[in-house]
Structure 1
């Protein structure tokens, strides 16, 4: 598989990766302009920009770029290791490092009327959307039947990137939730929330919010604490979810929820 195809596959699959490209050289160097390498968060690589100490330094810079999201233009002189040069080829090389970050993800648990509105709005805002429900779909659309779609759009607009029918265990199988993942619980009752939250709070998700009244959250929290869930973990939960704006319709509630998700990410 070509490096460009590997890059596209990684980003489409939600994996952060940095590209390192030789952009300029002079005299004797191990690789010429155009040579590329991909670097992943754990330091694994595909391709090469020349190997040796120079490449090790590029890998370190690429991992740092994945952490801070900033591009880098690196310059190396390969003359005298005694002066700290990463090689003895005798030339100079410039390497451009660019982080390619996947879309932030919103996981919508509960794909009813509100869940579908959240999924549509999150997709429009540029998030990768994973929707999940333990109930079967009606007409392949939603557990609660077809919705008319977002205002100004056709029914079916804003379908999630991924739809998981099953439990929270099915959702989390083989999936890593990190700071770029926001989990929105808009489920039908306390039982579903209480079953899902312990596993979700054990992940590194950057945001976890639960829809419902203050009373519903008080009931849910009391049940979870009685089951031994750490109160400090429960303090991470945004509940009731969303900013206060007097929302009533599914679309208004979705706006309230996504406003809070975006604000949490930006602050």
Structure 2
């Protein structure tokens, strides 16, 4: 469950008048299975969404969430995974996590806060969501938009982690750096493109798939969260589409000529990732023609081709898995080094 889906579900429950309990890992040591930022949500009927790692540790977290749902006592709870427990979970050694748990009641202030979080994420803006706890109270705030946030907390903004816990004078400050979903543009809505779009959307990309064939770029053929656009031709699409430096691009049209046409335009953008489906022979032929047209080798070196991780994929579904695995790999590396905006 990505950040946007988590907060959408939280808001939906609040608007429906239902209490929920939120749990987010805010620090980790050792071999605990999930990193800071992993989240879970529980409703009063016992429905659980998201995960903080599974297994015995998650069972303990869920039991604690049930208590908080009844009594409403928010706090930072510490959970330990012993070496013997870790061995049963398939881990090398034990680990520890601190989890921020809080009951969120369906009050106007909470609804407004979560609406604002989703608004910013929907505008492709990163969200800095801060929770402050002491012995008697809990406060939730956004930055920018609130004053009085200590410098040592603000210093966590744009660091290479999603969530950070600070303790000072019996107060706990939890900084959540929520990243907007990266855009993914897929050129070509054939079998591979379609399966890649479906899987990419499931793992947290904001997907737009484009094709010059109306029947392939039919929005009715895709879930609502995937944008399917019909374009009359692949030339000059940059006049209508803006590709930012945080965008991912996949080129998998129905022919080499179309791939070359799309690639020549995408290379003019600052896209952080460009992948093109095809063999080494196809790549070399397209690169040679683009070089003759004046495209520099350093620009061509940005292209992942053949695209995807080498897992022996053959079917469209398998190829989609290999391609999306590479997208996840690149996204994770970028998130660890993403601080130059």
TM-score clears 0.5: yes
- Mark the CA change 1:182 to 1:34 in structure 2 (over 3 Å): closer, same or farther: same
Residue 140 of structure 1 deviates from its aligned partner by 2.6
Note if 1:187 corresponds to 2:253.
Answer: yes
* Alpha-carbon displacement from aligned partner over 1:192-232 (angstroms, at most 9, x marks no partner): 22332244334443321111222221221112112221211
RMSD: 3.3
- Mark the CA change 1:24 to 1:112 in structure 2 (over 3 Å): closer, same or farther: same
Question: What is the match of residue 169 of structure 1?
Answer: 238
Contact kept, 8 Å, 2:218 with 2:230, in 1: the verdict is: no
1-side partners of 2:164 and 2:305: how far apart?
37
Partner SS state of residue 195, structure 1: helix
- Mark the CA change 1:9 to 1:244 in structure 2 (over 3 Å): closer, same or farther: same
- Mark the CA change 1:58 to 1:114 in structure 2 (over 3 Å): closer, same or farther: same
Match of 1:253 among 296, 305, 319: 319
2-side partners of 1:202 and 1:190: how far apart?
19
Note if 1:37 corresponds to 2:142.
Answer: yes
1-side partners of 2:328 and 2:321: how far apart?
10
- Mark the CA change 1:256 to 1:36 in structure 2 (over 3 Å): closer, same or farther: closer
- Paired residues, number: 219
Residue 69 of structure 1 deviates from its aligned partner by 2.5
Contact kept, 8 Å, 1:22 with 1:33, in 2: the verdict is: yes
Contact kept, 8 Å, 1:35 with 1:49, in 2: the verdict is: no
TM, length-normalised to structure 1: 0.66
Contact kept, 8 Å, 1:136 with 1:165, in 2: the verdict is: yes
Question: What is the match of residue 19 of structure 1?
Answer: 129
Contact kept, 8 Å, 2:153 with 2:175, in 1: the verdict is: no
* Alpha-carbon displacement from aligned partner over 1:67-108 (angstroms, at most 9, x marks no partner): 4323232648xxxxxxxxxxxxxxx96543211123344321
Q: Which region of structure 1 is more displaced relative to structure 2, 132-141 or 231-240? A: 132-141
Contact kept, 8 Å, 1:177 with 1:204, in 2: the verdict is: yes
Note if 1:234 corresponds to 2:332.
Answer: no
Question: What is the match of residue 85 of structure 1?
Answer: none
Question: What is the match of residue 7 of structure 1?
Answer: 117
1-side partners of 2:277 and 2:252: how far apart?
5
Contact kept, 8 Å, 2:210 with 2:230, in 1: the verdict is: yes
Note if 1:131 corresponds to 2:199.
Answer: no
Contact kept, 8 Å, 1:106 with 1:128, in 2: the verdict is: yes
Question: What is the match of residue 64 of structure 1?
Answer: 158
1-side partners of 2:219 and 2:140: how far apart?
46
2-side partners of 1:120 and 1:229: how far apart?
33
* Alpha-carbon displacement from aligned partner over 1:140-184 (angstroms, at most 9, x marks no partner): 369xxxxxxxxxxxxx565652223335415632x5231xx4321
Residue 110 of structure 1 deviates from its aligned partner by 0.8
Q: Which runs of 5+ in 2 are unaligned?
A: 1-110, 334-341
Partner SS state of residue 155, structure 2: helix
2-side partners of 1:202 and 1:127: how far apart?
22
The aligned runs of 1:50-199 (5 Å cut-off) are 50=148, 57=151, 60-65=154-159, 67-73=160-166, 75=168, 95-137=173-215, 140=218, 156=221, 161-166=226-231, 167=234, 168-169=237-238, 172-173=241-242, 175-178=243-246, 181-199=247-265
Question: What is the match of residue 152 of structure 1?
Answer: none
